[in-house]
Structure 1
């Protein structure tokens, strides 16, 4: 039963990190998206939070994505007077996405995903060895 719990906990971690990776990829993909008209906002970076949820069936706490929400930090400004979305001073708002931060978040999500995958592989190996002994 303990190995089953390890599978469930690690699978929940992998799901959460998969969502985290998707959000970071979406942010990177839109890092250069500019508005098309004056007064429009560019792409706003997304953030996510995690929470612990008790799985009563298994009797353990597992991680889940709590919320995906917009990052309320200020947009950047770029001087580009010929752009259709430029303001009166010639500046265009740019997304509040820092590609380097997103790449680091992707790397962290990847490592956490791999750690959870290693737990599943170790649990599987232990379960198979137990079955071999019982035969």
Structure 2
């Protein structure tokens, strides 16, 4: 049963990352025309960077040089690695900012226009944000599908 719960944990982490991505996309879309933030600069696009945790037990197993020994031709000895750590993070997500330069738009009537009539607009592209939103939504749905499948497997195994 522990492996089933670790499946819930892994998919739950995936749900959390996709929720963060959707939140960042929503902030970006909401601020697509924000020319001045609290710091007086145009809004900078938020990005969520998800990375695999290099300290997970699975990753350590892949990086180590494990040699399996046989006591007979039929089986290999058990290893001491524990893959069922509920606190282990498979993936970590951090919120950052896209440091690409602001777009310059000619609008001399805008109150934030510079001396030449250009306004520094946020580095947000609405099409990119919509694509990111669809991608995050589909990944979120995939993780919920995994949770539903694991739940059904657990339910069916209890009926046996």
| TM bucket, shorter chain | 0.7 to 0.9
Post-superposition Cα deviations, 1:23-58, rounded to whole Å, max 9, x if no partner, equal 01101110111238xxx3211111121122327724
Determine helix, strand or coil for the equivalent of 1:68. Answer: strand
Q: TM-score of the superposition, structure 1-length normalised?
A: 0.87
CA distance 1:43–1:61, shift in 2 (3 Å): closer
Q: Aligned pair count? A: 129
Residue of structure 2 equivalent to 1:131: 158
| 1:29-108 equivalence runs, <5 A | 29-35=30-36, 40-53=40-53, 54=56, 57-58=85-86, 62-65=90-93, 67-108=94-135
Structure of greater Rg: 2
Greater strand proportion: 1
**Per-residue deviation, 1:106:** 0.8
Q: TM-score of the superposition, structure 2-length normalised?
A: 0.74
Q: Any stretches of 5+ residues in structure 2 without a counterpart?
A: 58-83
